[in-house]
Amino acid sequence: MKKLILFLSAALFLLACGEESRHVDANDVTLKFGSTWNIYEECGLDENENIIYKGVPWGGLVGNFLEQNMPSDLSGYESVTFEFIDPLPVPVQVVVANKFKTVGKPGLTSLTCYFDGQDVTSVNEIVLQPHDSCNIRISNVYLTPGNNTKWVPTRIWKGECAFENWTGGFVLKPENFASANEGDKLEFIFEVNKDDPETKYWVFKTIYNTTDETLEGNDSELNEWGCASVSSTATSYRIRLTAKDVENLRKYGAFVNGYYINVTQVNLLRKQVSYDE
């Protein structure tokens, strides 16, 4: 609460001095991020209304999306983006309403978490969570409207594949990507296996089949072993395909495996844009 008061005091000071906030756009949500998950963390605004966040491992910079104590409906938006003043010093993840997340690796200057296909009709908070101690400066956080965008799924694989401890895995054949285009998404439908209480993390690894090279579309989310993490409550994971991905997937297909995840279906998502009359 003390940190929240300090954050609000900085914002009110700017108003008292007669200065208009630069975060006035309706899609700019920077000023919602004014508290932290951990009491040992700090956050505040500098003179340019940049967020200064001092984080601890698995703490979090919290954006409050409650309106009159009710969660916000963000279904009219397609993503939330964080813009960093300095390259990220540590891995972070953006967690939306504790339902799904996007991971960003060190060196990024921006990180976008896409909402498509996820339920964002009741969002109470969005959190930027570091994997290690860090100082992060954030210039902007904003929502991108996307209410005219629909993603149409085409099923390209169905079955039951339990990865367990890197066992199993399956191949997506090259012909499944004959109609794929840059910007399409590869969607995995799954359940995480929580039978073993010692299992604390769940990851995907996707490579061009018969090679050691991971897909390019989720490169920013990969750890040093080329794996992407998913949360314990996640039921889907998506990779936005690049031109390089499409070319290589048409040539090689993909091999998919991971750690304690049970995959039941894979879809190719294609964007369908509708225009209001």
pLDDT tens, position by position, 106-143? 999 999 998 876 789 999 999 999 999 999 999 999 99
Name the burial class of residue 249, with classes exposed (0-12), middle (13-18) and buried (19+) by CB atoms within 10 angstroms of its CB.
buried
Predicted confidence (pLDDT) per residue in 79-116, tens digit: 999 999 999 999 999 999 887 788 888 999 999 998 87
Predicted confidence (pLDDT) per residue in 179-233, tens digit: 999 999 999 999 988 888 888 888 999 999 999 999 999 998 888 899 998 877 7
Tokens of 121: 């009709």
Overall average pLDDT of the 27-41 stretch: 96
Overall average pLDDT of the 253-273 stretch: 92
Indicate whether 47 pLDDT > 90: yes
Query: For position 167, what pLDDT does the model report?
Result: 85
Domains and CATH numbers, the chain: 2-145 (2.60.120), 150-271 (2.60.120)
Q: What confidence tier does 5 reach under pLDDT thresholds 50, 70, 90?
A: very low
Predicted confidence (pLDDT) per residue in 227-250, tens digit: 998 877 788 899 999 999 999 999
Indicate whether 2 pLDDT > 50: no
* Other Cβ atoms within 10 Å of 114 Cβ, number: 20
| Full DSSP string of 110-157 | EEEEE-TTS--SSB-EEEEEESS-EEEEEEEEEEEE-TTEEEEEEEEE
Q: What confidence tier does 277 reach under pLDDT thresholds 50, 70, 90?
A: very low
- Predicted structure pTM score: 0.74
Q: Which residue has the tokens 């050691």?
A: 212
Query: For position 14, what pLDDT does the model report?
Result: 52
| Full DSSP string of 188-201 | EEEEE---STT---
Q: What confidence tier does 73 reach under pLDDT thresholds 50, 70, 90?
A: very high
Overall average pLDDT of the 144-166 stretch: 87
Overall average pLDDT of the 35-57 stretch: 96
Predicted confidence (pLDDT) per residue in 167-177, tens digit: 889 999 999 99
Query: For position 117, what pLDDT does the model report?
Result: 67
